[in-house]
Amino acid sequence: MVYNFSAGPAVLPKEVLQQAADEMLDWHGSGMSVMEMSHRGKEYMSIIEAALADVRALMNIPSNYKVLFLQGGAIAENAIIPMNLAALRSPAGKHEVGVADYINTGSWSTKSIKEAGRYCTVNVAASSADRKFASIPARADWKLSRNAAYVHICSNETIDGVEYQYTPEVAADTDGAPLVADMSSHILSREVDVSKYGVIYGGAQKNIGPAGVTIVIVREDLLGHALPFCPSAFDWKIVADNDSMYNTPPTYAIYIAGLVFQWIKRQGGVAALEARNIAKARLLYGYLDSTDFYSNRIAADCRSRMNVPFFLRDDALNDTFLAGAKERGLLQLKGHKSVGGMRASIYNAMPIEGVQALVDYLKDFEKQHG
Ligand SMILES: *Cc1c(COP(=O)(O)O)cnc(C)c1O
């Protein structure tokens, strides 16, 4: 038995992989693999339409939002977002680039800020960099711009392990700027009120499926503002008008995402997964907090339920720890190189048994080396 704690690409539900294997050579009697189908044929159209309907139902996405499948991952979106939104407040037809507000809560926000700065003026409205990203700046301390084109957050910092436990309200301070959220590493792990966001986006390879597809959920009034130099394939309006088929979409990745959406429905939907994710996080943080052999330094009110970085008291034991974990089938626990230590990513597809196996190992290792 193996449990895979990778931060991404990450564990997928075994049932999904089994179904994909069963359907690999012949999808539903079509005589074709999904990989071999025209994206415009009736077989593939039924796959993508079901995936869209399922994710809309799972996230309760209002009808005035489009769901787009793009490529390039969340990192490409760091450029695509300002290219689509930076002129939001400019006079009609002028495409004047404005100010975008960003909240810096960790490695991924830092990257988003750097990239956006190539396309527009960035105001870092709040940052926890001086606290080594161990907490999220209180909403009351954000210095938002009255005329912001949009406000960007990373709602779960995969590397640093901080997660918003609420949706920040930004419209009142900005005369209605939309909230834009990078949800790559916690989308579908908890209930979210989509109507509070202008744009939600994420790469699939954490909680949705294989790498190669990016999901963008965008309110319709935010379409049609792209800067003139925005590549057509990244202009959300063009992509939306073409039902995500302006260019060939990543067909196989979308098919697997669709199987994951069906799996989530069978689990009882996002609320059921959220309850499980809370239990998993309690189990792991609870143990880490119970001993000074291990530590997690993130403020209790913003600890991520998905990505749990932790340290051994003695760094010199790291390699021994990882080798012993691997022997027990506990894989990919090494922390990100920028943070060090360990990181356990416990996405939707990680069962509580996997977290229990990790806690059992933490205890045994401490007994041996503490
Ligand atoms: C993984 C991740 C990214 C990067 O995604 P790519 O698919 O590599 O572009 C960006 N933001 C967050 C929060 C992530 O977890």
Task: Return all residues near 100 (Cβ < 8 A) that are at least 6 apart.
Answer: 82, 85, 86, 116, 120, 121, 122, 123, 148, 149, 150, 151, 152
The pLDDT of residue 256: 98
pTM above 0.95, yes or no: yes
The pLDDT of residue 292: 96
The per-residue pLDDT for range 273-326, each reduced to its tens digit, is: 999 999 999 999 999 999 999 999 999 999 999 999 999 999 999 999 999 999
Judgement on whether residues 52 and 198 belong to the same structural domain of the protein: yes
Judgement on whether residues 212 and 293 belong to the same structural domain of the protein: no
Judgement on whether residues 344 and 253 belong to the same structural domain of the protein: no
The pLDDT of residue 91: 84
- The residue assigned the tokens 């050579």 is 25
Phi/psi at 138 (5° precision)? -60, 140
Domain boundary among 266, 293, 326: 266
Is the model's pLDDT at 46 over the cut of 90? Answer: yes
Establish whether residue 207 lines the binding site of ligand 1, counting it when its CB lies within 6 angstroms of any ligand atom.
no
d(CA 235, CA 241): 10
DSSP secondary structure code for residue 336 in this structure: P
Mean pLDDT in residue range 198-203: 98
**Mutual orientation of helices 14-23 and 251-267 as an angle, nearest 10°?**
130
Judgement on whether residues 131 and 99 belong to the same structural domain of the protein: yes
Nearest ligand 1 atom, CA 75: 9
Total count of domains within the chain = 2
Residue 67 and residue 210 in contact, taking contact as beta carbons nearer than 8 Å:
no
> What are the C-alpha distances in Å from 64 to residues 60, 80, 220, 223, 224?
12, 21, 6, 11, 14
Judgement on whether residues 166 and 233 belong to the same structural domain of the protein: yes
With CA atoms as reference, report the closest residue to 348 among 174, 232, 179, 208: 208
Judgement on whether residues 110 and 245 belong to the same structural domain of the protein: yes
Judgement on whether residues 27 and 129 belong to the same structural domain of the protein: yes
The protein residue whose alpha carbon is closest to atom 6 in ligand 1 is: 73
Domain boundary among 237, 266, 295: 266
- Give yes or no: 364 in active site: no
pLDDT band at 370 (very low <50, low <70, confident <90, very high): confident
Spot the catalytic one: 27, 101, 173, 206.
Answer: 206
Judgement on whether residues 45 and 146 belong to the same structural domain of the protein: yes
- Write b or e for each residue in 4-42: b if 16 or more Cβ atoms lie within 10 A of its Cβ, otherwise e: bbbbbebbbbeebeeebeeeeeebeeeebebeebebeee
Cα 217–chain centre separation = 12
Nearest ligand 1 atom, CA 72: 9
Q: Is 142 labeled as ligand-binding?
A: no
The protein residue whose alpha carbon is closest to atom 7 in ligand 1 is: 73
DSSP secondary structure code for residue 170 in this structure: -
Domain boundary among 241, 266, 291: 266
Spot the catalytic one: 54, 101, 173, 182.
Answer: 182
Q: Coil, helix or strand for 304?
A: coil
The pLDDT of residue 90: 87
Q: Is 356 labeled as ligand-binding?
A: no
CA of 131 to the centre of ligand 1 (A): 22
The per-residue pLDDT for range 75-100, each reduced to its tens digit, is: 999 999 999 999 999 888 788 999 99
Judgement on whether residues 256 and 314 belong to the same structural domain of the protein: no
The pLDDT of residue 93: 78
Judgement on whether residues 212 and 303 belong to the same structural domain of the protein: no
Element (H, E) at 354: helix 352-369
Is the model's pLDDT at 164 over the cut of 90? Answer: yes
- Other CB atoms closer than 10 Å to residue 88's CB: what's the count? 20
Domain of residue 348, residue span: 3-11+269-369
Task: Give the CATH number of the domain where residue 284 resides.
Answer: 3.90.1150.10
Judgement on whether residues 304 and 201 belong to the same structural domain of the protein: no
Instruction: Round the average pLDDT of the chain to a whole number and report it.
Output: 97
Instruction: Determine the length of the chain.
Output: 370
Q: Is 130 labeled as ligand-binding?
A: no
Residue 104 and residue 110 in contact, taking contact as beta carbons nearer than 8 Å:
yes
Task: Give the CATH number of the domain where residue 62 resides.
Answer: 3.40.640.10
Judgement on whether residues 74 and 111 belong to the same structural domain of the protein: yes
